[in-house]
Structure 1
Amino acid sequence: MSLDPADLADELRLDVVSYDFVPRFNVPPGSFVPIVVERFDDEGQLHRRLETASWGLVPAWAKDVKIGFKAFNARSETVLDKPMFRQAIRRRRCALPIPGYYEWETTEDGKQPWMMSAAGDDPLFMAGLFEFWKQPDATWLVSTTILTMESAGHLSDVHHRMPVFLGRDRIDDWIDPAVLSNDVPDLLSSTLAHVDPASVTRHRVGRAVGNVRNDSPELVEPVA
């Protein structure tokens, strides 16, 4: 989270930016991350917003917020049917703008972390879902999860799963709340078909990133 998402306000046509940006270089589940959503106001006007969400989906029916630690990813193969995600996929879809993410490769010498980032100058956009959960103090927690799919291209050399990436031309359709529930399976299928692993580049980074207490720009630097 080293890129200020507010810099995308014009390009993404954001009406509201309420995400409190703090540069971070090691962002584990449970952290707060930015999400791009479209929501209707009380007068029926649609607004595109950059909001803050807790990474780890907490559905409205959850008894405990800790359930989110088990739902920081959602498998695209089962997201339409799994109780944890099936309401959100139909009604509450979002995009997560990030400069990059870490993935771990299993090697003979242990886990080797990689930094995955956009091949061009733009950030990466990942397809996500979001939910609202009423906390004990009667305030609302916004939470999110990242859709994943089977890895393709060079990304499969590192890990068997990868995020569902959104091209700029796919964001509008993905976050559109006016998409009818019956059309969501087709939307998901089309989104998956347009994922391009070549839009992502990668380099090895040091193993210090494996400790969430480490948080500095050096974590993203390439290593031999």
Structure 2
Amino acid sequence: MCGRLNMSLDPADLADELRLDVVSYDYTPRYNVPPGSFVPIVVERLDEDGQLNRRLETASWGLVPAWAKDTKIGFKAFNARSETVLEKPMFRQAIKRRRCALPIPGYYEWEVTDDGKQPWMMTSAGDDPLFMAGLFEFWKQPDQSWLVSTTIMTMESAGHLQDVHHRMPVFLSRAHIDEWIDPATVSSEVPALLDSVLGQVDPAGVDRHKVGKEIGNVRNDRPELARPVA
């Protein structure tokens, strides 16, 4: 699973590299981000003139489908299992029409040890952040405005990440971001697209280091939480 994020870098710094047309994400550095928080997503949507724009938007982490009675359902849907995402009522419409990428500097995972749970921070092994495959949805709020929400896709862990947890995010290479978020992909092509994206995930592109157990309390939010510990 992926249930805690580090948002210490401004994804708008990637505007040129990601060919962003619009940046609507209001960045605030955070070091211990739980579900229910606002996170950045990269999407492609038509504007009022019918032009396709690539946008960096703000989304609530935890998917709220259009048919939901309230937003509480999102706290159960911050991850979407890639093995069942095509069939689950919660996600099957979003994966057909509303796919996104999340540029995330790092995330935390907990390893079960004889001495209790040891938290790790996972970061990119390169210069870029980690790009995670996600889905997004729109939900009409009581004031008639729209809530944008998102979920992070997960899969069985591979490589060295298996040593920490049995699940990991579905990471996107730069080359696969365009393909994943393209809204022109028709529904019948989505299963093949999903297989292609899962096949390119490379856990060797992820570095990790142990961090202190203070990360377990969501009220703790400071840069020191991400520092390596012995």
Q: Which residue, out of 125, 134, 144, partners 1:119?
A: 125
State how far apart, in whole Å, the 2-side matches of 1:83 and 1:75 are. 13
Determine the structure 1 residue equivalent to 2:204. Answer: 198
Q: What is the letter of the counterpart of residue 122 of structure 1? A: D
Structure 1 position 42, deviation (Å)? 2.4
Q: Which residue, out of 77, 91, 96, partners 2:83?
A: 77
> Are positions 1:58 and 2:33 aligned together?
no
Structure 1 position 137, deviation (Å)? 1.0
Q: What is the letter of the counterpart of residue 89 of structure 2? A: P
> Are positions 1:35 and 2:70 aligned together?
no
Instruction: After the TM superposition, list the runs of 4 or more consecutive aligned residues in structure 1 that deviate by more than 4 angstroms.
Output: none
Determine the structure 1 residue equivalent to 2:12. Answer: 6
Task: Give 3-state SS (helix, strand or coil) of 1:39's partner.
Answer: strand
Task: Give 3-state SS (helix, strand or coil) of 2:184's partner.
Answer: coil
Structure 2: 5+ residue runs without aligned partners? Answer: 1-6
Determine the structure 2 residue equivalent to 1:17. Answer: 23
State how far apart, in whole Å, the 1-side matches of 2:127 and 2:183 are. 29
State how far apart, in whole Å, the 1-side matches of 2:65 and 2:188 are. 21
Q: Deviations over 1:80-126 (max 9, x none)?
A: 00000000000000000011000000111111000000001111000
Determine the structure 1 residue equivalent to 2:109. Answer: 103
Structure 1: 5+ residue runs without aligned partners? Answer: none
State how far apart, in whole Å, the 2-side matches of 1:60 and 1:87 are. 10
Structure 1 position 43, deviation (Å)? 2.1
State how far apart, in whole Å, the 2-side matches of 1:117 and 1:38 are. 25
Task: Give 3-state SS (helix, strand or coil) of 1:173's partner.
Answer: helix
Structure 1 position 172, deviation (Å)? 0.1
Q: Which residue, out of 143, 150, 155, partners 1:137?
A: 143
Determine the structure 2 residue equivalent to 1:219. Answer: 225
Q: Which residue, out of 153, 156, 169, partners 2:159?
A: 153
TM-score by length of 1: 0.99
Structure 1 position 64, deviation (Å)? 1.1
TM-score by length of 2: 0.97
Structure 1 position 16, deviation (Å)? 0.1
State how far apart, in whole Å, the 2-side matches of 1:153 and 1:5 are. 27
